[in-house]
Amino acid sequence: MPQNVTQKIISGHLVSGIMSAGSEIELRIDQTLTQDATGTMACLQFEALGVDRVKTDLSVSYVDHNTLQMGFRNPDDHRYLKTVAEKYGIVFSPAGTGICHQLHLENFGKPGATLVGSDSHTPTAGGLGSLAMGAGGLSVALAMAGEPYTISMPQVVRVYLEGELTGWASAKDVILHLLGMLTVKGGVGKVFEFAGPGVASLSVPERAVITNMGAELGATTSLFPSDENTREFLTRMGRPQDWTELVADEGAEYDEEIRITLNDLEPLAAKPHMPDQVVTVASLAGTKVNQVAIGSCTNSSYADLASVANLFAGKHVKFETDTLVSPGSKQVLKMLASEGLLENIIDSGARLLECSCGPCIGMGGSPVSEGVSVRTFNRNFEGRSGTKDAQVYLVSPLTAAMAALHGEFTDPASWGDAPQIPELPQTIPSIRNQFIFPPEDGSKVEVLRGPNIVPLEQFAAVDADIDANVLIVAGDNITTDHIMPAGAVITALRSNVPAISEHVFERMDASFASRAKNTANGVIVAGENYGQGSSREHAALAPRHLGVRAVVAKSFARIHRANLVNFGILPLILVDKEAYAEFMQEQKITVPALAIAAGEPVELILSSGKRVTVINDLTQKELDIIRAGGLLNYVRFSKSR
Ligand code: MIC
Ligand code: SF4
């Protein structure tokens, strides 16, 4: 049978299950990546598994999120991660080296490999032809321990690209176009596999922009074939041996097809406060811009920053438009320097930030009150920038640079001829000496923990029906940022669940944590696509710490649903969406936890006397995990048998 690229990688890594859309499959994982914000928890969980060394071909631990070291917390976490890496055979990338996805693409990603990462933008490596998926930290810890990774077999959508990008349109506009068309939940249960003659016109870093932000569609992942451009990229990166060709067979079948003519695209922007609120840049002309931020795992490659530097040449950004530039990796920074382009950025008046996530995760760079911030990032959720009333727009680096130079959005028709996309230099400086490669034998390495590293909590098994209180009735598209906010102060508490739990839902409902602590058990009620956004398992773990036992929603985002299961919280789906209106905050509710069977409907009993039917899409294994009080208990229990 002819296969598409996704099927080829999946069949080559299938441990169990059948490859029919929707059925549960287990995959062998070749590579993992973790980053510091989710990695401390993943490492604590890995340690709890009692394995003496990682079992993957390659595991890398990156420090890129909480690089600000104000006080002991982040430096303690970084030291902990470094010692765990040395002990267990993980490559360590210290703070300042770069953003995990950019570094992984440049240094470690491989066509045809499976990669799971404790970050939702792990699909960036799909630009190289990896099957790269975001997951919660615990799922990644298990993959590091050699356990297969479980997903439901996705539908494969062929995104057929024709023509080539022209004018000021860029790779970012391809994915913004898809987001506008499909919305933030349009990709749930799907892999977007790019194909067609237009693929050859896109370089690997451009492809990676598209697969990176496929995460915003809610997709399982996105990927491109591995072709001559992939070979060229890997060769320039000094690793030609990592290249293999990987293309769909003639006649391969797909579940769906979308066609895009690249020539038709023009510069686009996602308006506040969702990545799918897409409009043309032309329609925003005249909107004043207070801040421009260029970088993030979406748009911080050499080509991205070199095009910005070219536009800045001999010019100055508007003084009233605070302009921030964060290169994706030290390699990008060195190339900008060696090609003489760094000077353009410095002379333009822009501020050069560290090679890290920075403003994207709210680590500095917050816009002024009510400010308009134009960012090359992938998320513009309300408050994520650190300024509650800021208006964040997501655009390409070219559009961002023009906004910085004009101090406002202008019509691309007035920008003149579009610049050429800069090619990677022939010789690329190596940054291999920046990584710490683990010793062959790490058994003598001592793992160092500071006071910010709090031991894991063990949750009780579910052994009775749950009498609970409805703690919150939230709307549609609740993001993990709503549940467990990003930002310098809060993110530094990622290895301290009791402390971080105080901040659950605080930007929506300041008394949530105290109310939750005052009731024995809690239930969260929500609308569609609950938990979209990041892989942050704290958005499940911290509510569980506060006593949340079930989430009743119209639908769930993939990674968050898996995180709920991992920490023993029941994800329950409303059979009749109208029944959402029956719920009220503080209402008492009985969840017949013992009567719940995989895939079966069951009735919740509300104190109003009403009964509401919910169903679950849990497999028997997932249900057993929840009953055991979460995945760690479940694994420990199965090992002890
Ligand atoms: C994000 O972009 O929200 C993050 C921070 O990278 C998260 C992971 C995290 O919360 O640490 C993600 O996308 O998974
Ligand atoms: Fe970092 Fe932002 Fe990318 Fe998340 S989306 S990995 S915070 S750069």
Instruction: For residue 335, give the CATH number of its domain.
Output: 3.30.499.10
Distance, CA of 248 to CA of 194 (rounded, Å): 10
Among protein residues, the one with the nearest Cα to ligand 2's atom 1 is: 357
Residue nearest to atom 3 of ligand 2 (CA): 297
For residue 422, being part of any structural domain is answered with no
Residue 503 located in a structural domain: yes
Instruction: Note whether 197 and 220 are same-domain residues.
Output: yes
Is the CB–ligand 1 distance for residue 118 below 6 Å? no
Instruction: Name which of 267, 253, 472, 245 is nearest 376 in CA terms.
Output: 267
* Inter-residue contact 406 to 329 (CB < 8 Å): no
ipTM of predicted assembly, 2 dp: 0.97
Taking alpha carbons only, the member of 358, 292, 360 closest to residue 322 is 292
Which ligand 1 atom lies nearest to the CA of residue 538? 10
SS3 622: helix
pLDDT at residue number 381: 95
Read off the pLDDT of each residue in 476-499 and give the average, rounded to a whole number: 92
Residue 444 burial (CB < 10 Å; 0-12/13-18/19+)?
exposed
> pLDDT at position 595, please?
95
Average pLDDT, the chain: 96
CA of 224 to the centre of ligand 1 (A): 23
Q: Measure the CA–CA gap between 213 and 177, rounded to whole angstroms.
A: 11
| pLDDT recorded at residue 641 | 60
Q: 100 with 220, same domain? A: yes
- Report the distance separating Cα 221 and Cα 125, nearest Å: 10
Is the residue at 45 inside a domain? Answer: yes
The reply to whether ligand 1 has any atom less than 6 angstroms from the CB of 535 is yes
Pocket test for ligand 1, best of 62, 119, 139 (most atoms within 8 A of CB): 119
| Residue where a domain terminates, one of 264, 296, 327 | 264
Q: What are phi and psi of 408, to 5 degrees?
A: -160, 165
What is d(CA 36, CA 595) in angstroms, rounded to the nearest whole number? Answer: 39
CA of 312 to the centre of ligand 1 (A): 30
Partners of 269 in the beta sheet?
279
Residue 428 lies in a domain: no
227 and 345 part of one domain? no
- In this structure, the answer to whether residues 241 and 177 fall within a common structural domain is yes
Assigned domain for 14 exists = yes
Got the DSSP string for 342-405? HHHHHHTTPEEPPSS-GGGGTSS-PPPTT-EEEESSS---TTTTS-TT-EEEE--HHHHHHHHH
Identify the bridge partners of residue 325 per DSSP, sorted by sequence position. Answer: 294, 352
**Closest protein CA for atom 2 of ligand 2:** 360
- Is there an atom of ligand 1 within 6 Å of 101 CB? no
Q: Specify whether 213 is located in the same domain as 290.
A: no
Q: How far is CA 352 from the centre of its chain?
A: 24
Q: Which CATH number characterizes residue 470's domain?
A: 3.20.19.10
Count of CB atoms situated within 10 Å of the CB of 458? 12
Instruction: Say yes or no to pLDDT of 640 above 80.
Output: no
Characterize the bridge pairing of strands 588-591 and 466-473: antiparallel
**Domain identity same for 248 and 285:** no
Which residue out of 65, 537, 541, 559 has the highest number of ligand 1 atoms within 8 Å of its CB and is therefore the one to mutate?
Answer: 65
* Same domain for 255 and 116: yes
**Which of 352, 364, 362, 282 shows the shortest CA–CA distance to 323?**
352
pLDDT digits (tens, 9 = 90+) for 248-292: 999 999 999 999 999 999 999 999 999 999 999 999 999 999 999
Q: Are 20 and 158 within one domain?
A: yes
Q: Is residue 361 in contact with ligand 2, taking CB distance under 6 Å?
A: yes
Q: Of 205, 233, 264, which residue sits at a domain end? A: 264
Q: Return the pLDDT at 171.
A: 98
Residue 28 CA to ligand 2 center (angstroms) comes to 26
- Domain for residue 432, yes or no? no
How sure is the predictor about 227, in pLDDT bands with cuts at 50, 70 and 90? very high
Domain co-membership, 480 together with 560: yes
296 lines ligand 2 (CB under 6 A): yes
Alpha helices in 214-297 (DSSP H): 228-236
Report the pLDDT value the prediction gives residue 275, as an integer from 0 to 100.
Answer: 98
Residues 205 and 280 in one domain: no
Q: Which domain holds residue 88?
A: 5-264
Q: In sequence order, which residues have a C-beta less than 8 Å from that of residue 638 and are 6 or more positions away?
A: none
Percent over 70 (pLDDT), the chain:
100
CA of 98 to the centre of ligand 2 (A): 11
Which residues touch 188 (CB under 8 Å, ≥6 apart)?
218, 219, 529, 555, 557, 558
| 473 pLDDT above the threshold of 90 | yes
* Token pair of 266 as six digits: 């023009």
Among residues 411, 430, 453, which one ends one of the domains?
A: 411
Ligand sitting nearest the alpha carbon of 360: 2
Tell me the average pLDDT across 226-245: 97
In a domain, 614, yes or no: yes
Write b or e for each residue in 196-214: b if 16 or more Cβ atoms lie within 10 A of its Cβ, otherwise e: bebbeebbbbbbbbbbbbb
Please tell me if the CB atom of residue 121 comes closer than 6 angstroms to any atom of ligand 2: yes
> Around Cβ 595, how many Cβ atoms within 10 Å?
10
Judge whether 342 lies within some domain: yes
Distance 472 CA to ligand 2 centre (A): 28
CA distance 585 to 472: 5
For tokens 């959402």, the residue is 580
Are residues 626 and 502 both part of a single domain? yes
* Same domain for 388 and 313: yes
pLDDT band at 348 (very low <50, low <70, confident <90, very high): very high
Using 50, 70 and 90 to split pLDDT, how confident is the model at 638?
A: confident
pLDDT tens digits, one per residue of 242-253: 999 999 999 999
- Residue 553 CB–ligand 2 contact under 6 Å: no
120 Cα to the center of ligand 2, angstroms: 9
Cβ burial of 20 (10 Å; 0-12, 13-18, 19+) is exposed
pTM of the model: 0.97
| Contact predicate 156/6, CB 8 Å | yes
Does the CB atom of residue 37 touch ligand 2 within 6 A? Answer: no
Instruction: Single out the residue of 201, 199, 244 nearest to residue 223, CA to CA.
Output: 199
Q: Look at the chain and report how many structural domains it folds into.
A: 3
pLDDT on residue 637: 79
Q: Is 37 in the pocket of ligand 1 (CB under 6 A)?
A: yes
pLDDT digits (tens, 9 = 90+) for 79-125: 999 999 999 999 999 999 999 999 999 999 999 999 999 999 999 99
